[in-house]
Structure 1
Amino acid sequence: MLQVMGGTVPGAQVLTVYAATTREREAPDSNVFTAGRSDTPNYSAFTISVPPNHQPGRIEWPTDRIDPATTFATLDQGILTRRGFFEQVAASPDGMRDVTVFIHGYNSNFPEALYRLAQMSADAHLDGTPVLFAWPSQAAVAGYVADKDSVTYSRDALADLLSELARDRRVGSINVLAHSMGGWLTVEALRQLRLSGQDDVIDRLAVVLAAPDIDVDVFRAQMEVLGPLSPPLTVLVATDDRALLVSNRLSGARQRVGALDVRDPRVQEAAREGNVAIVDISGLETVDGLNHSRYVNLAALYPELGGGQDEAPGLGLRRAGAFVFNAVGTTISSPFTLVGEALAGE
């Protein structure tokens, strides 16, 4: 998928995605990444073409051959040094540059994660810079335990990435979106930043966890250390997430945060006390048979979000609590509905 095509077609959307990864390179002069763990992060840049026939929320994968007229395609790619990576990510001819960092989940290979970020960036019409943080997932269903070890291995590298971005004054807002097991990695990195006294870094981040594969008790302990964020940490959940049901079984019937029920009064109270915005997105169309990736459809709605009194730009809510996201097609009416009678009059 990452072979360079060189050119695209009229009507295609072209964007550059930067990647920082703890995966090993297959060869020193290659942007082909293995499931091995690199001693130091590797950096790269990819120019990606999104086809004119693109449907929001989808990745048009080739079934026979790569064709920019009908499929995603890589037009160019390059290997970057650490310094070159941060220089290019922050570079902007007209002031500060916003950055979105995406941390993928379990059972994902590098091209899947790269193209998923490209899809969401294209659908959201982002003006900022998309950055992929790719950790060495085995990209196999049977690799759950190995993947959990790999996200643990990658905590320092993610914390370092966020710290470098936050301390560069050429960088504007920093939006962090983490999916599934990448959510556990992200909260661990944030916890590490807090414990090391890097409050200034955390203060610059707006964090969204999509279907986080985190034990509820572990999450509570993490948040006790991390403390409240501003805007509040946003958690996207769905009770019918089958992937998290499997995770629940693998972990000894421990409840996962990404499958919490916002209608449960205990969840509503915990959200308020922990200054967390928990949003049920089960009303969105699913793009997989496991109901685990609904979040990708939010990208197309991104320009319409954040216009209300209680919403921050994008997906971040300015108030804590339990919410239901309401959307019919691409038309949004009162997108976040607060759940819980106790707060209905506020």
Structure 2
Amino acid sequence: MADTSARRIAEFIEPLRVKPGSKVDLAEDFDPRYKAHLTKPEGVELLKAGVALLAEYQARLAAQDTYGVLLCLQALDAGGKDGTIRHVMSGVNPQGVKVSSFKVPSAEELDHDYLWRYARRLPARGDIAIFNRSHYEEVLVVRVHPQVLDRQRLPGAPHGKALWKRRYREINDWERYLTDNGFKVVKVFLNLSKEEQRARFLKRIDLPEKNWKFSAADVRERRHWDDYQKAFSEMLSATSTTWAPWYVVPADRKWFARICAAAVLAHTLMEIDPQYPTVGAEVREELLAARRELEREAPEGAPADPYEADHPGTGPGRSPQ
């Protein structure tokens, strides 16, 4: 059953994967309205199943305590990053998930290399970390707004294409280092159309309870749409690798984007296939001795082991899992 689920998920997300070494043109290669012939009601049920699957694998990931997972979410404003995080991670243990959002770098952060502030938020083994925007801002916003680069005070660094080529290489090497050390990197770009962004901005203006989510700066940033499309396309082309591939998720339909994000994360966890630790014979004997002592403390008329009474087969003769 697990093999069947893994295969179906892999087939579902394959059209979203950016093939390493390919040249991406967002406008030509990925449709923000794509929904894989699903209806919204079908999508709601699929998301429920996906969330349950994530909860199971997250518990195993935490128990094994060997791998960590980093999920990078990138999108333009109103792309749905917050909603994706809220819905996809709704069923997991919050103790094992940490979300980091990256805004304008502080003076302290600017006094370090550009990856420093991201490295500080990496997951521990057994945990999932989510970057709401990520180190890819350093080849996106910084590229579209060169004045931001000036604040980084790079000593004699090249500008233009040479700089971005170097940063792509540095980011790829960093992610390879992380994966070599047991930290899986999964990257999702929520691909929103220009018209859908316009509609979402207007909704944020029209609904008083959403006014707080809108800023006039959002419209100013929208004026750079074409520049961002070019930056995204080149970034996806240069940094989708075999060890840390990009997935371009159609984001015009929020329900479908959430299914895709859940499937990509589930696929990563299923590839890891974490297992609950087993105990050795000596520890097993200690557990059985403790069990016998607790059974002797049972009140009169109560089952010696209430759980075993309700679940036959979990007693001392059960084979260790």
What's the TM-score, normalizing by structure 1? 0.27
What's the TM-score, normalizing by structure 2? 0.29
Higher RCO (CA 8 Å, separation ≥ 6 residues)? 2
> Structure 1 or 2: larger helix share?
2
Which has the larger Rg?
2
> Structure 1 or 2: larger strand share?
1
